[in-house]
Every structure is written in structure tokens, then in C-alpha cells.
Structure 1
């Protein structure tokens, strides 16, 4: 029975009707996939043809469809009843705000499976009403035990609400204790419910994600706050792929090594009973290589064609996310989504995340570094060896996808396939095995030779086990034989070898595609995985080749590392200036963006942060600024100690001074200290010198790297005699309330290593433009890092403690004032060691 028909002219303007007829005629009356653009009256006023098919099907190019547009698709037989595939696509795209129309070839009749999503006027937030929720007597003060009213929290809520109402970018520095999570959650919740528009909240650390999901958001599931749905979104690789799991369950002997079987058996057993299929639900610490065998991956997914689509954990999670009001994600997932949207121009459709227009970026001081790493490139030999190893196991050439394929070919060796199967088993397969051996050797030799050449070029400084060296690709280096003969020439040769191997894999794939349908179905899973390996090798080749191409605004370098007689080499690049990219990827495409952190300003201005992230490129009227001081009384709760008579950090006596003074300091604080370093080398040296002494005094010495971050922090919180020695990531994201942490020790000011390639390139770029790289870049970066380190100390109104800085430059150099002025207004003691320690003893006597 035919579906009820509407007249197409009631949905599409006359000129566009003619254009659609021409498109169908040009396709020989076959199915056509078009995207319609509506006018202000929601009539289709323009169309684009994206695909042509046959009488029964057409490719659906969904990534090109934007919110408010319409997929138009013809049924040549005149029956406008939607097929199951039509319903599936219409359901998915309808939830994203896209329409779906079916027409006949004459474009006379139309069936609107999903109508156009019409724009609705936004309902603005009531700032007074929202503020009252936070004030004394408000619903939160009644329902949250120990609730404290903070005026700065209300100020932040108002700023966030204004950004939602006025489509602006709000930069908000909110000092520790402001309660910024609730200040942005309340406006986000009311906005998403009132306007049916999703809000994304991005954080840098797992700690903050967990705080939002398991503490702050549940707190707001109360009366007078509208009901809303929040979802923690994880990257695709966190989920198990049921297709892969089934393949390994039945055919694992052909694909995996013996030593990996035990873990794999546990994972497969878990897969049958897990609730969400994510790695976090797995009660076993598995080897990365083993998990990779079963993880969900975009290039190995057939979506609707997969037998497990309806049970798929990843798509179940994504469907759950697409129906959520609030999405909680991390910065890396956000940047990956933005990069994909930029490449596909898909800001109104699903990329990694469902579409959104409002973003809250907490811990926003990390935005520049995360963007740099996501837009940049890091390439090791494993990018090539992993797909090669999947095709044929290096240790056992009877295992892998290609040997499995050869064995599986017996199941499809029908008469109709005879010529093809012979071509595969006797022609293509042996060639692939031989070429794979050659390419494996080529990869190993290329990376090894470049390692030796670079190491020799830098005068064989690469001697210590575990040492890492980085060589930046400069104009001077490009003119040397090292580049032309040892690097560029060898990489070009390797790229050619990979290219030839990919051509042969394409030949294999084409042969499989020529098999009859029943045979293709039998080999479908293998076909997907072989095609994925081919795609990854081709992408690896393109990325490797891009490394030897010079590009403006790109810093390139080579990293060398040696460990237990093994060498490691990586080719890397990163944008020198990320500001234009962030403007194009982020700021130009979203209505409301909240950027918040406790550390965004230098000397009470956002100038440095704005310049680094591209905010300075936006119209002034689009940006709002707010600086909120912490509600803590730093003058009575804390003290900054700076001994001025110790050696400078670069002095040969500095290490001796540090050891001697740390011994005295820990005796006064009775443990309870976080010692922050700027390098692993100094951390290890000081730790090795002091651990025997401190252990003998009854203190527990903890060192970053000896256990995972979570376990170290739990031990530190629970053992009040402990001292935690750490670097880099421990400068931020640590929340230790109470007397477990009463002293944060800064061993030296956190200036970036000046010869780090990307830092060197950025400072050179500043100097070339007439700027001062120290004051314009190195100093501001160090100030923000010191502010983060300082922020580990006072986490509540009951906390007390000191920040001890063993770097007298903060007191003796003119730039030291910038550090001091950017820190909270605590009492600051800048005297000789004897005086500082007396003040310290007096402070702790008042516990």
C-alpha cells in the first residue's frame, strides 16, 4: 500500500523543484541523495546533490547534513513508503534537528518522514531567580549540609547567565573556594531545559569530571531545579567492540599470541555480563595491546550493517549522550571533536559528540596546551608496525589477519569464485607476505639509522639510560647532510615502500569485493579489519611525509630516548601559534563559551591568556571578563616563605642547600608536605638523597612514578607523616583538605625549559615580531604555573599552611614582583634562612 502523499510544491519552491528533477534525470532516474536548504518560511529554496545510486539504494552522506536542513531522497518506483534504512537514518538525523523527505522521480509528491526543525526564540535566564537559589534561605542552603553562601559565587553565576543570554565568551578567573562548579551548573541546567539546547562541560582532569558527575550534579537533583539528564562521555576506544570480541572468541588462535590469551579470556568473559562495556567497568588491569584487540574503533565499524549494532556499547552510549541535556567530557575529546568538525564542516551534525552550541570549559588554563597536542603530530615507528603486526604477527607468521584470510578462503572456494581465490592465495597473498617482511625491515632500519645519525650529529650526548634529547628542525639543520641524506631521503624511501604495500593491499581488497555476496558475508569481518590496517598504513604514510614538508607556523622536532639498550625515536610537530586555530575551531562556531579557572590572569589582567588562545582576535563586544578573589583569608590561613641566602638554582651548591634546608623544613612541618619540582632529574636526585634520612625519622616518602596518581594521593591523604615528591602534573588538580597537607614546597620557579623545541620556536617568533620573549611568554607561563602550585595548599576555610619557595630569584630579581603580585595576598617573608625558619616555627606553633 502506498503512503499518503503531500504535494511537493507545498514544501519546495518552484525553481528548486526543477533543480531536483534535473538532478534525478542526470542520474538516469536512479536514487539521489540531496540536502535541502530552507528559507525563512521553511520552504526548500536550494539543494546540493551529494550522491547518486541505483534503482534501490544511494549512499547517505550524513556528515554533510546540518541542523535545520533536510535530506531529500527519491524512490524511483513512486512508492514513498520509507524503508527500514530510511527510518533508521531519519531517526538519527531527526534527533539532530535535520528533516527527511521522500519524493517521487517527477517531484510531484512528497512524504515528510521528519519535518524541518524550526528555530524557536530563546527563553533568557532569570539571573535574580538563579542567584536566589544560592543565597541564604535559598533551596541549596536548605538541602546541602554545611552549605556556605559566597558572594563571589553569585557574581560568577550572573556572569555565566549573561553569557548564555547574550551569546558571548566569558573569561572568569575564580579563586579557589569560589564554588565555580555550582555557579556554572545552575545556568547550564536552566538553559538546557528551558531552550532544549544541549550544553557541554569540558574539564582537563578526571578528578573534576568525577566531582561534577558524582557530587555536584547529584546535589542539584532537588526541588525547584528542573529535571535534567547528564552523561559522562568517554572516547570511543574506552568501549569493547562485540564484533571483535566474537571473532577472537571463535578464531583467536589464528590472531593472538599465547601470552595474551589469559587476559583476553577474562575480557571476553566480562563482555558477556558488563553493563556499559567500558574499560572502567573491567575489574582487571589489562595490557594496552590486549585491550586494543577488542576496543571499538571508527575505522573498523560498519554501523548499521554490523550484526551487533543494536547491542553495541559504544552506540548505546552515544544514543544516551544524544538524549542528554548536559554532556561532561575532557579537553582532549572536545578538541578531537572540534578538529573533526572543522575538517567536515559539520558544526550542526554529529561528529564525535552530538551537536551543541554552548560550552563551559573548566580548568581552561590548559586549553592552549591541549589544543597544541591535538592539532600537532607525534609519530613513532609503532604507527607503522602495529597495523603490520595485525596483518601478520612478527613473532609467529602463522597468526594475523592475512594468514587467517588464507585459511578462511577455503570456506568460500566455490566454483564461481575459483579464479578470484586462486589469485588471492597464489598471487596476492605470497606477494604481501614477502613485501611485509621487506617493509618491516625498512621501518626498523629507517628509524634506527635516523636515530644513529641524529645522535651522532649532537656529538653522542645521548649516553645515559632513560635520557631524552630533542632536536628541532631549523633552517640551519635543513641545509645539512643530516637532513637531506639521513632524514628526508630515508623517510621518502619508507613512504614509497608503504605506498607500494598499500597498493597491494588495495588489490587484495578489490579481489575480495569481487567474490559473490555469500562469500563476502563470510569474510566481512576480516574484510573490515584488513581495510582498517590499509587505511592506517596510508594515513601513517601521509603523516610521515607531512613531517618532511616545511609549513609556516609549524615547529618540527625529533625526540630520542634510550632505555635498557632499546632506542626510541619520534617525529613531532606542533603549531607555533595556536590562537588562529582556536578561533577557527572553537570561538567562531559556538554561541556561548565559558572559560574558567583559578589561574587565567597575570597581575590581574587576562591579556596573556587572551593572546595565547585567540580571544584577542574576537570583537571586544563578544568577550566579557571577571576576576573573583578566593573567599579564603590567606593572610591568617597561610604564609609565603622565601629564604634569600640560599644558592641560585643554577649554582653548583644549590642541590646541597636544598637537601640541608628540606631536612630542617620537614622536621618543623612534621611531614605533611608536597615537594614540587620542575624536572624529574632533580626530583630523583633529591629523593634518593633524602629518603633514607626521612624514613629513619619515621616519615613516609612518596615519589611520583612509583605508583599511579590515585594511589599516591590516597596514601598521602591518609598518612599524615608522608612527604610527596612530585613534578609537572602534580602542580594542579590535587585537592587535599585538612592537615594532611600543610606545606607546599616549590624547589625552583617553574620556568619552561628554554631549549624545548616548541618553547624555543615560540620565543623566536615573539622576538622576530619585536617582542620580548621573556616578559611576553616565559614569565607569564611560569607565573600561571606557580599560581597552580600555590593553589594546592588552601582548599577550605579551615586549612592552614605555608608555601616555601627555594628560589631566591623571586625576591632578588625585578620580575619576582610579578610572581608575588599574582599570588593570593598572604603574609610573605623574604629574609635569610634563620629568620624564615623562626617565622615558620611560630606559624606552626599556632596550630
Structure 2
């Protein structure tokens, strides 16, 4: 069944090739392309090509494509070793042995497909594979058809239309109001013990944590005064099961779900996996656990249908066919962080996947032919009847801001990764009046204006509702006419022009001129920003003109919303369910996509026209101007507004509406500052989580980590590296990574240094048998990179901030963590204002707290289990000692020359455990 193709595994600059005749060859990229033979069998063609310095490897037999066809919706790290592990085969460490293993991996997948050929998911598999061969000459088609025993099947499109085989959702009666029974600490402990089972490892801290968390589920005694618990749980405490215990009890007892909110997709997935302890039966877990994300995360079946219809016999047939296979196997249709293989976008281009989600608010709800099978609608209805809903901070905050969204306001909330609440609220409650945002609103209102686009526009989305009614048509037409004041296509190319009639473009041009005038690095080719006040003379008149234009747009949109709402009230009994749902959805969309931003933009433009504020006065908002540039070209400009303290809208909009909240993290408090006052550390945690803005004081709880950090870790500051010398930095990373034998994560504060370091150290590491992967270099998204790093025990990974938080890599796969320099906060205008007004007169301490927290978070990645060992290194001799005081108790940080640190790393990590 296998193609007569050589097997290829690449490292940096060269590849091991096993020919069908059994001959091993070492080839460069150029030598590989020069061979006249069947394209090779490999894993992840784009990543393989990059390692060989090639743009592509035409016609490659990529085993990941075969895996996606044979095992849809199943996880796999996209490397030869990761693929072997996914198939239950022990991968060899030797690269030649890996090349020899590739045909075995292909055989294993094809044999499994042959065994499962009669299963329902494979009903249309053969005709789909034939279609993939006809449309795009898919190299695995013949092997797949042979495995399915249907070599002579005719190509067909049935398999490209998986929506025909999906199950409809069904509505249920509205849930009754929740009861208000609390959870006693002893009951939380008992539920925890039941989940852990007999003979489980005793963790007193975990039981104490469950007891403390139970207080967040006590009955509320006054409106706007939720029961709030701040619980810091050191790594290894077992906080996930610790809060699931009282949360599940409360939900079962009171008939309403508890929402667990996280900051990262990784933690959403981990919590879902932990719930196997509570609901071991998969069917029960599917009924009682729902994962909720924003609509833009899910596959849109209408987008898939339109993509299939336009693919014809083109190259997009293969990725669409693999997506269609996934649709039949997926749990919930989540394209981002669910069971969708993120590397499919890397193989075929991210647009092939991202265009299948509704990222532009074009959903037509019940007017959609796939409404009854829609993944988003399924998830909304599962959440209504669930016991536990796993969401994310952004969704919880946005839904709260708009009255609760489709699932209403949750009564009980658990915010895991609670140290991110400040940043999540900062993002959720901010506003951006930029060319990109205003042009997107124009597109949402007017739809496609020439060119090839599927953008529908507001008229088409409402045409089934309007029915030609003048009271709807009149404000709609007025709004669409007023929308032409927003930037039309190609606006960014006109930013530098002197004149123009469009009021939005006129405002953006004056913003650009002020930024250029006020910033020292305005012609550096990158993003620049400047303060709003004092304003240039041309800016207020341009803002006034633009404000009037937005008001002319806002007024008819408000009228349209109000009249649709009135129709719902007056004609509700006469409307069928579909029409009513479309009207409700239209009203929500108008509010979220148009009226809310228009109100914020109007307030911002009025601020431009006001007098300059008194220097030093504490503002409610921070306003500033930006100019975005790429390769010396202007790509966007505009005005930004953030709350000075975003926990205020969080407290008033999200927290005050709930009956109880648990905010938890391993790093809630800033421990180790100049002040050793524990009360001050708690006050800081309350300020960062919004607790200080609520009427009832939060209950505080802290559980220390059970890990022996003094024995299991070492920490160093390298004392002899010259800052700014990338050569020395790269040399230090190379030496440390070699000393640890891999398993190292290098964290950078600048992408440029990351890329330069990667280019310098990759060949030496690869020569030593240590694969090196890097964010912003490899053709993989962050989730795939972490999966690879976790699966390949001796690999190394370079990354930035996104790799510091929420990465769970237990065991030897992460045994060394290296910072290139102290992760100070970026010196932006927003940070300056918060440093001035939120630091209580101690601006230096404000910066220190941020850097100390980042170091502490990163250190927490090293030790995830009791038997882990790890080394923490900072390659910055200027690291202040006060920043290191936040590391776990017992960790001694030593300042040593590089040669001694390298020797210590090797000795400690190679020493047998215990």
C-alpha cells in the first residue's frame, strides 16, 4: 500500500534520506531538489523545507496529511517522534533510525484505516480520497484507496459536505432559577476525596485549598456584594481539583452551572482533562461539561460550504477534505485550541483554516441553512444545561459587558490564572479608533464594495427580517449612506496625502502628522506613539468633523435597533421562531458591532476637542495616538483609549453581578519586594483583581507549594556577558543548552534577538542531536511548538512572552529555563501613566513588581511534579537582587561566570534523582 518514495528526516542544513533500496544518504537542500525520483516521505513539509533552507519540497508525501485523514480530531505533535508517540510506537533518538521508521508509521496508519473501513466515519472516505487525487493529485490517495479496498471507486463530493451528517441541536425549556444553598468546607473536602479515589497521594494543602474555595459558594447577602475569595496556591497544590470539588457540588445542588474562566487555551484543555476524575464516563462528561469560547474560534459550516463550492478542482481540495474528515469526528468544532490539528494551517497556509471561522461578525443565525447543526449554537445550548462551563476571561468579560450574552450572567465564577485579570480586563474594556477598526465597521455595514469578497453587509443580513417594511428600510438606508464617511478600501495608502474628502481619513491624516512631529523614532519604520495632549492645531477640527459624521451614522442605527426591538415586543406572538431569533441576533449584533464602538469613538473624539488636562492630574482614561508602520510603509493610525485602572469596570460589570467569585493563581501576590509586609502583598493582589472595588472584603487564602525547591532547582545569574552583544548571548545559550543535553526553554524580550540567536546556535545543537525550535522562525503556531517541545524530551525551544505563561511541560522535557535579560515592562505611554498614578508614589516598585512576577511565573514552569529537576538562568549581569526575592523559598540565586554556570548545569541535571 505504500508509495515507492524515499523517507526523509531533516536537521538544520542537512537531511537523512533512506531510499526505497535501503541506502542511507546525507543530503543538503540543493542536493535533495536535484534528485530525480519520487518526492520523499516526511513529516511537516514546510518545517522540513525551512530546516534545509528551501522554500518548499514539491509533491512531498507528508505523513501529517495521512494522519489527519486516518485519525481525525486526534492529537499529534507534528514531528517524526511526535507522530510515532501518537501511534503508540517508541521513537528512536537516532535520525537515521527515525528515517527508517517513517514507512512503518505510514503502514500503521493505513492498516488501522483498513481495520476501521466499515465504521460510519469512513462511509465516504474512499470517494473523498479519489476526489482529492482528481483535484490535487493527493500523493496518499492510492494508498488510502488500497487500505479501504476500493481502488476503483469514482470521485465524489459527498465527503466534502459533512454538514449533511451532523446531528441537530434541540432547544429545551428555560432553566428554573438557581437555588442558593452553600457548600460547607467539609463537604468540599469529601468531594475532593471522592474524585481522587482510594490510595491517592495525600496533599493536605489541596484539602485546605478546597475548604477555602468553598467560601466563594456561600449565599450572597446583598446585591452587588459577591462572596469573593482570593486563593494563592503554589505549584503542585492541585488547585484545579481543589476548586472543582466545591464548584461541582454547588452546581449540582442549586441547578445552575459554575463558570471556570482561564486566560490561556492550554489551561482550558487541562481543566477539561482533569474533569475526567469527576465524570469518567465520556457521555456523562459531554452532558455536564461545556467549553465556551468566542464565536470566532469555531468552524462556520456556511463558510466551509462556500469554500467547498469555490474550490472546484483546485489545490484547496486537500485541506478542505481533511477539515471535512475532522468535522465528523470533532467534539465541539473548536478550531483554536480544541481537537483541531493546528498544524493543518501550517501545511496549507493559515488562510485555509482561518477563513473557515466567523471572524468578522457575519453570522446570519437562524437564516443560515446550517443553523440547526451549528457548532456555536450547540455549545451555547450545552452550556445552558451543563454543570461546569470552561470559558476564558475575554468571553466572560465581553458577555458581562453586554448583559450576559446567550447564556445569561453566571452566578458563580472561578477565575483561574487570576494574575491575568488586570490584563484581560484591560483588553476587554479598551477602545481603538483606528483606520483598521473603522474600515472594518464600514465593511460590516456595507459588505463587499467591488473585488471578490463574501462580505454580506447589513442589508443582506436583515433582508429576511425587513420584508420591505418602511419603518425598517428608512433608518437602514440612512445608516448605509452615512457609513460612507468611514474609510473605503485602500485608505492606508492615502495616509500621507495632503487632502481628501473622507472625514475618517482626514482625522487619521492629522493623527499621523502629530505622531511624526512628536516622536524621536518616527522614521524608524516601526510603530510609534505619542500623547494626545497637547494637540496639534489641525487635530480638533478634524476630530469635530469626524464626530459629526459618526453621529449621523449612530442615530439611524439606534433607530433601527429600537424598531427591531419594538417589532419583537409588538409582533412577537405572530413571528415564527426563526424570525424572532434573527431579530434578537440582529439587535445584539447592532449593539456589539456598531453602537458600542460608535459610542466609545464619539467620546474619544470629544476628548480631542477638550482643553489640555492639568499635568499630573489622575485621569480615568489614558488616551494616546499611534502610527503603525511595516517596512517603512504606513499601515494604520489612530487613537487608543484604556481605563487607567481596568479592574474598575471588571468589578462593576463582572464581579458585582455575580453571587460568588474565586480568583486563584500560583502567583497572586508580589512576594519579595522591598516591603516584607504581608498585608501590603495582599492589598496589591486585591488591587490587581478588582477586589478592592467591591463592598465586601475578599477572603484571603494561601497554600505553599509542596515541592522542595531547594533540592530540585538551581538558579544562576551569569555575571560576565556584555549586554547588547548578540554573539555573547548566543554563545551562552548554546553552551547552556548543550550542558543540559536539551530540554531547554530560552525566553527573549525581543524578537530580533531571538531570530539572531536561533541562526547562530541551531547548527551546533543539531550536530549534537538536539533539535531546536523557535517561535517567529518555525512554520508552526505556539500550541504546536509546545506540543513538539513536550513530546521531544531533548528538544530546545526559543520563545517570547507567550511561551512564559500557561505552558505546562512536566518531566525532563523542560529542565532548563534561560532568560536573555530582565523582563522589564515595555516603556509605553499607558505604562507610564499607570506607573505614575497606580504605584502609590513608588514608581520603581511598580516596575519591579511586574518584572518580579514575570520571573516568578517563568520559574513556575520548571517544576510541575515532585520528581522534576530544573535550572533557572538569567543572562543579564545587571539583574537587581531585589527582583530575585520573589522566587520560591529555599531557592538560592548564585552570580557566577558563564563557565561555572555551564559546569553547574551539567553536573546538577546529570546527577541521578534523590
Aligned to 1:87: none
After TM superposition, give the deviation of residue 121 of structure 1 in Å.
6.0
Instruction: Check if 1:549 corresponds to 2:598.
Output: no
2:448 to 380, 393, 404: 393
After TM superposition, give the deviation of residue 690 of structure 1 in Å.
3.2
Aligned to 2:700: 625
After TM superposition, give the deviation of residue 258 of structure 1 in Å.
14
| Deviation per residue, 1:628-672 (Å, 9 max, x gap) | 12111111111111233444x5xx55x454233223322311222
Aligned to 1:365: 419
Instruction: Check if 1:200 corresponds to 2:234.
Output: no
Indicate conservation of the 8 Å contact 1:388/1:440, yes or no. no
Aligned to 1:594: 662
Instruction: Check if 1:319 corresponds to 2:394.
Output: no
After TM superposition, give the deviation of residue 368 of structure 1 in Å.
0.6
Aligned to 1:60: none
| Deviation per residue, 1:186-241 (Å, 9 max, x gap) | 1111122123242111111111111111x211111269xx9982211222334566
Indicate conservation of the 8 Å contact 1:673/1:742, yes or no. yes
After TM superposition, give the deviation of residue 374 of structure 1 in Å.
0.4
In structure 2, the residue corresponding to 1:393 is in which secondary structure? Answer: coil
Task: Give the Cα–Cα distance (whole angstroms) in 1 for the partners of residues 205 and 861 of structure 2.
Answer: 20
Instruction: Check if 1:381 corresponds to 2:435.
Output: yes
| Deviation per residue, 1:356-378 (Å, 9 max, x gap) | 32111111000010001101113
| Deviation per residue, 1:341-390 (Å, 9 max, x gap) | 3xxxxxxxx53433332111111000010001101113432333235346
After TM superposition, give the deviation of residue 817 of structure 1 in Å.
3.3
Aligned to 2:791: 718
| 1:261 to 1:628, Cα distance in 2 relative to 1, 3 A | same
In structure 2, the residue corresponding to 1:219 is in which secondary structure? Answer: coil
Task: Give the Cα–Cα distance (whole angstroms) in 1 for the partners of residues 773 and 866 of structure 2.
Answer: 27
Aligned to 1:128: 186
| 1:544 to 1:133, Cα distance in 2 relative to 1, 3 A | closer
Instruction: Check if 1:752 corresponds to 2:807.
Output: no
Unaligned runs of 5+ in 1: 1-90, 98-116, 342-349
After TM superposition, give the deviation of residue 561 of structure 1 in Å.
2.4
Higher alpha-carbon Rg = 1
Instruction: Check if 1:800 corresponds to 2:853.
Output: no
Task: Give the Cα–Cα distance (whole angstroms) in 2 for the partners of residues 771 and 685 of structure 1.
Answer: 39
| Deviation per residue, 1:745-796 (Å, 9 max, x gap) | 122222102x3121111112147xx611111x21112111111110111111
Measured on the aligned residues, the alpha-carbon RMSD in Å equals 5.0
Task: Give the Cα–Cα distance (whole angstroms) in 2 for the partners of residues 589 and 237 of structure 1.
Answer: 26
After TM superposition, give the deviation of residue 339 of structure 1 in Å.
1.6
Task: Give the Cα–Cα distance (whole angstroms) in 2 for the partners of residues 510 and 129 of structure 1.
Answer: 49
| 1:556 to 1:507, Cα distance in 2 relative to 1, 3 A | closer
In structure 2, the residue corresponding to 1:641 is in which secondary structure? Answer: strand
| 1:332 to 1:399, Cα distance in 2 relative to 1, 3 A | closer
| 1:809 to 1:532, Cα distance in 2 relative to 1, 3 A | same
In structure 2, the residue corresponding to 1:152 is in which secondary structure? Answer: helix
Aligned to 2:689: 613
Which has the larger displacement, 149-158 or 824-833? 824-833
Task: Give the Cα–Cα distance (whole angstroms) in 2 for the partners of residues 337 and 712 of structure 1.
Answer: 31
Instruction: Check if 1:295 corresponds to 2:349.
Output: no
Indicate conservation of the 8 Å contact 1:381/1:447, yes or no. no
Aligned to 1:635: 710
Equivalences, count: 682
In structure 1, the residue corresponding to 2:817 is in which secondary structure? Answer: strand
1:563 to 630, 636, 640: 630
In structure 1, the residue corresponding to 2:218 is in which secondary structure? Answer: helix
Which has the larger displacement, 577-586 or 703-712? 577-586
| 1:494 to 1:270, Cα distance in 2 relative to 1, 3 A | farther
| Deviation per residue, 1:507-535 (Å, 9 max, x gap) | 99999999xx9xx9999999999999987
Unaligned runs of 5+ in 2: 1-170, 221-226, 492-501, 611-618, 672-677
In structure 1, the residue corresponding to 2:606 is in which secondary structure? Answer: coil
| Deviation per residue, 1:242-267 (Å, 9 max, x gap) | 78888x699x99xx999999799879
| 1:222 to 1:781, Cα distance in 2 relative to 1, 3 A | same
| 1:711 to 1:274, Cα distance in 2 relative to 1, 3 A | closer
- TM-score using structure 1 length: 0.68
Instruction: Check if 1:644 corresponds to 2:719.
Output: yes
Task: Give the Cα–Cα distance (whole angstroms) in 2 for the partners of residues 511 and 187 of structure 1.
Answer: 45
Task: Give the Cα–Cα distance (whole angstroms) in 1 for the partners of residues 370 and 377 of structure 2.
Answer: 10
Instruction: Check if 1:778 corresponds to 2:851.
Output: no
Task: Give the Cα–Cα distance (whole angstroms) in 1 for the partners of residues 895 and 189 of structure 2.
Answer: 42
| Deviation per residue, 1:544-602 (Å, 9 max, x gap) | 33323339410112232222545222432111112332331233332321111111122
Instruction: Check if 1:839 corresponds to 2:904.
Output: yes
| 1:200 to 1:736, Cα distance in 2 relative to 1, 3 A | same
Aligned to 2:243: 184
Instruction: Check if 1:209 corresponds to 2:268.
Output: yes
- Aligned pairs for 1:293-692 within 5 A: 295=358, 313-341=375-403, 351-389=405-443, 391=446, 393-396=448-451, 442=502, 445-446=505-506, 449-450=509-510, 452-458=512-518, 461-465=521-525, 467-473=526-532, 475=533, 477-478=534-535, 480-481=536-537, 485-486=538-539, 488-500=540-552, 536=593, 540-550=597-607, 552-564=619-631, 565-603=633-671, 605-618=681-694, 622-647=697-722, 649=723, 652=724, 655-692=726-763
Indicate conservation of the 8 Å contact 1:240/1:296, yes or no. no
- Aligned pairs for 1:139-178 within 5 A: 140-142=196-198, 147-165=200-218, 168-178=227-237
